[in-house]
Amino acid sequence: MSHVVVDNPHGLDQQLAALDLNPDGQGGGTGRRYIPPHLRNKDAAKNDSPGWDGGRTNGFVNGFHDNRTNGGFGGRGPPRNDRGFGGYENKDGGWGGAPRDAAYNSFGGRNDRSKSAFFNDRGAGSRGRYERGGFGGGGNSRWVEDSRGEDDWSKPTAPNERLENELFSGSNTGINFEKYDDIPVEATGSNCPPHIESFHDVDMGEIIMGNITLTRYTRPTPVQKHAIPIIKIKRDLMACAQTGSGKTAAFLLPVLSQIYTEGPGDALQASKSSGQENGRYGRRKQYPISLVLAPTRELALQIYDEAKKFAYRSHVRPCVVYGGADIGQQIRDLERGCHLLVATPGRLVDMMERGKIGLDHCNYLVLDEADRMLDMGFEPQIRRIVEQDTMPPKGIRQTMMFSATFPKEIQILARDFLEDYIFLAVGRVGSTSENITQKVVWVEENDKRSFLLDLLNATGKDSLTLVFVETKKGADALEDFLYREGYACTSIHGDRSQRDREEALHQFRSGRCPILVATAVAARGLDISNVKHVINFDLPSDIEEYVHRIGRTGRVGNLGLATSFFNDKNSNITKDLLDILVEAKQEVPSWLESLAYEHQHKSTSRGRSKRFSGGFGARDYRQASGGSGGFNSNRSGRNAGGHGGSRGFGGGGFGGNFYNDGYGGNYNHSGSVDWWGN
């Protein structure tokens, strides 16, 4: 292949010199260069911290520390009884006419009262049931069938200090959301409700509000602002928002809130009678009210951990089932009660076939990483679960899909599962998170290992580095190599036992092994704070995978770096990669541009069917061709669409200059505000 464009552009040394990683000065100047150790002169060698790290380690500055130190649960505040609020449109009161502060300030959300008032609203009598153990796992005590049914599910159950500490100790410390309104949002579909600006703008009930306070989420993220009211009014939703932008809570909060409001309904009765049929308490089939499906085991676990937080002090018992782990233990856990189930598809089908799970009363279905869940690998299982069993049909159940990428083909397929849905694109369509600095370096296969060592040495010890390879064998081999070179590293891939996988992730998260070598199994959804550098030792073959992989860094307002090793083997991703770099305003190596140019000319069909729509996101395919969307019509830019302060969606001019398939594209964003408004 001829890719030589400028003077020997592929020489490793030139590539290294072109890497803009190491600071000449600290901070964000453009003159920063990555100089690997063996090329450094004395002066450069003094600089031992990588430039991308300098001075921007942490966006978490505020938070609820004050409240958190006050652990007392006793205290003031009468029991609240303010339910019955009708909806999101009451932005001001938001709580059924109760004065705003009376309604929620006991959580410490807006003033400096402690959370204690919230926690004191149960009589002593209701506590007894929960005080003994039984809090393990689901965040709730044993599902006590005899009295639960009569309980008001909208009321918080008694607090448990130990559990509370366990659930919330690692929580966020908050994010600076200034200039927040600049995030473009596009919501298409009929009758989309207005978005919220604060968690208090919608009635999610006191349990959820209490738990939001405990997690120290001060404000909704952009996807939460929009998705929460849509879900609250029971609309189906396909939501596309950047990696690390808070999609998990965007579905967990409103779904759990609905369950608390509506109570167990028929699910409770069904489970009771199945228990009677089986003749023994505890052997009954479980009828979850909500099902969340995820593509990997570790992601399922992570969502489950989040669900436990928002189910704290509620009657809802979350459970998780996934492959590779002891099924007997999972069954025993299910039998203690399961109202919200997080699952990987294979294990769920197994549980259904064993008669442990019935989806007859599953009113809420969430597909996280939905484009992955509906691609060829998973689609048959998803159909088996959703269409070919007892789950209520679309239109009856509520279906929500979330991802950072939504190729058009997948959107079309997804129609089978959705009824009159709203499509939400939050963020700059056609862009990966701008929090992530993306580098592409030409590295021949034979040079990859030594270049990796250079990068690792430049990174420093304190930050976490995630190294992606294509194959399981490759992961083992690279882990061995790094280990022999003296690096504390571990690996995660499909040939490792589940126990080893979870252990590896744990070691990585905790920083004990700051280098994790991974296959695609770790590409999606994992939320690991402090991942500073994602290295594509082998680039993936499709661009969605690339977007998700690099999305393991630069999360929640933090900054990150992604370095990809590119060579002849990766020509299939050239064009999409170039598009992404351009969209995200990243530096584009000239050889990549030339390669892409060559490719385009070689390719006979100009408008090759572009599977990917550009960048992180997608447009609503329903709007892409003709129709009233007018996405292509307004090149003048974002402001015309009115995103931000007002509704920012609908047919009007969400412009930007989209690619010629009228589908992907960008917002032509000119501001310098990042995803989190920093």
Determine the size of the site formed for ligand ADP (CB under 6 A): 18
CA-nearest of 471, 492, 678, 668 to 582 is 668
From 39-47, 48-56, 243-251, 290-298, span contacting ligand ADP (CB under 6 A): 243-251
**DSSP conformation class of 357:** B
427 part of the interface to Mg ion, by CB under 5 A: no
252 part of the interface to ligand ADP, by CB under 6 A: no
From 507-515, 521-529, 566-574, 668-676, span contacting Mg ion (CB under 5 A): 521-529
3-state SS class at 402: strand
**DSSP conformation class of 265:** T
Distance, first Cα to last Cα, the chain: 43
553 part of the interface to ligand ADP, by CB under 6 A: no
- Identity of the residue numbered 91: K
527 part of the interface to ligand ADP, by CB under 6 A: yes
Could you give the C-alpha distances from 64 to 104, 108, 123, in angstroms and in order? Answer: 15, 8, 27
103 part of the interface to ligand ADP, by CB under 6 A: no
Q: Which does 49 bind (CB under 5 to 8 A by kind): Mg ion, ligand ADP, none?
A: none
Nearest residue to the partner Mg ion, using Cβ: 525
CA-nearest of 200, 26, 224, 247 to 98 is 200
Residue 180 or 566: which CB sits closer to ligand ADP? 180
Among 244, 295, 655, 665, which residue sits at the site for ligand ADP (rule: CB under 6 A)? Answer: 244
Residue 138 or 244: which CB sits closer to ligand ADP? 244
Residue 50 or 59: which CB sits closer to ligand ADP? 59
From 130-138, 242-250, 280-288, 353-361, span contacting ligand ADP (CB under 6 A): 242-250
- Separation between Cα atoms, residue 115 and residue 211, nearest integer Å: 10
CA-nearest of 507, 515, 588, 580 to 542 is 580
525 part of the interface to Mg ion, by CB under 5 A: yes
How does strand 185-188 pair with strand 422-426? antiparallel
- Identity of the residue numbered 370: A
Minimum distance from residue 372 beta carbon to Mg ion (Å) = 11
Q: Which does 245 bind (CB under 5 to 8 A by kind): Mg ion, ligand ADP, none?
A: ligand ADP
**Could you give the strand order of the β-sheet that contains 489-492, starting from the edge strand earlier in sequence?**
436-442, 560-566, 531-536, 464-468, 515-518, 489-492
Mark 151-190 with x for binding to ligand ADP (rule: CB under 6 A) and - for no binding: ---------------------x--x---------------
Among 221, 536, 613, 678, which residue sits at the site for ligand ADP (rule: CB under 6 A)? Answer: 221
Instruction: Judge whether 9 and 442 are in contact, CB under 8 Å.
Output: yes
Q: Which does 246 bind (CB under 5 to 8 A by kind): Mg ion, ligand ADP, none?
A: ligand ADP
- Separation between Cα atoms, residue 306 and residue 545, nearest integer Å: 24
- Give me the torsion for CA of 467, 674, 367, 516, rounded to 10°: 10
Residues numbered 319 to 378 that lie near Mg ion (CB under 5 A) are: none
246 part of the interface to ligand ADP, by CB under 6 A: yes
- Pure H helices in 590-672: 590-602, 621-624
Residue 404 or 469: which CB sits closer to ligand ADP? 404
Among 148, 297, 549, 555, which residue sits at the site for ligand ADP (rule: CB under 6 A)? Answer: 555
DSSP codes, 27-72 = SS-TT-----GGG--HHHHH--S-GGGTT-S-------HHHHH---
Q: What's the chain's length in residues?
A: 678
Question: 508: part of which helix (H) or strand (E)?
Answer: helix 498-510
Mark 246-265 with x for binding to Mg ion (rule: CB under 5 A) and - for no binding: -x------------------
From 240-248, 284-292, 374-382, 383-391, span contacting Mg ion (CB under 5 A): 240-248
From 244-252, 342-350, 379-387, 405-413, span contacting ligand ADP (CB under 6 A): 244-252
363 part of the interface to ligand ADP, by CB under 6 A: no
Using only the alpha carbons of the chain, give its radius of gyration.
Answer: 25
Residue 202 or 526: which CB sits closer to Mg ion? 526
Backbone torsions φ then ψ of 519, nearest 5 degrees:
-95, -170
Backbone torsions φ then ψ of 318, nearest 5 degrees:
-80, 150
Determine the size of the site formed for Mg ion (CB under 5 A): 2
Minimum distance from residue 109 beta carbon to ligand ADP (Å) = 12
Among 247, 284, 394, 619, which residue sits at the site for ligand ADP (rule: CB under 6 A)? Answer: 247
Residue 337 or 554: which CB sits closer to ligand ADP? 554
3-state SS class at 656: coil
CA-nearest of 622, 627, 615 to 656 is 615
- Separation between Cα atoms, residue 227 and residue 216, nearest integer Å: 20
Partner residues linked to 491 by β-bridges: 517
Minimum distance from residue 10 beta carbon to ligand ADP (Å) = 34
- Pure H helices in 355-394: 370-373, 379-386
Residue 246 or 358: which CB sits closer to ligand ADP? 246
Partner residues linked to 464 by β-bridges: 531
CA-nearest of 676, 675, 655 to 666 is 655
Minimum distance from residue 306 beta carbon to ligand ADP (Å) = 7
Residues numbered 200 to 219 that lie near ligand ADP (CB under 6 A) are: 217, 219
Structure tokens at 247: 């999609």
Instruction: Judge whether 623 and 616 are in contact, CB under 8 Å.
Output: no
Residue 308 or 610: which CB sits closer to ligand ADP? 308
From 420-428, 457-465, 525-533, 573-581, span contacting Mg ion (CB under 5 A): 525-533
Q: Which does 220 bind (CB under 5 to 8 A by kind): ligand ADP, Mg ion, none?
A: ligand ADP
Minimum distance from residue 55 beta carbon to Mg ion (Å) = 28
Residue 243 or 435: which CB sits closer to ligand ADP? 243
Residue 5 or 528: which CB sits closer to ligand ADP? 528
- Separation between Cα atoms, residue 304 and residue 256, nearest integer Å: 13
Residues contributing to the site for Mg ion (CB under 5 A): 247, 525
Residues contributing to the site for ligand ADP (CB under 6 A): 172, 175, 217, 219-221, 224, 241, 243-249, 527, 555-556
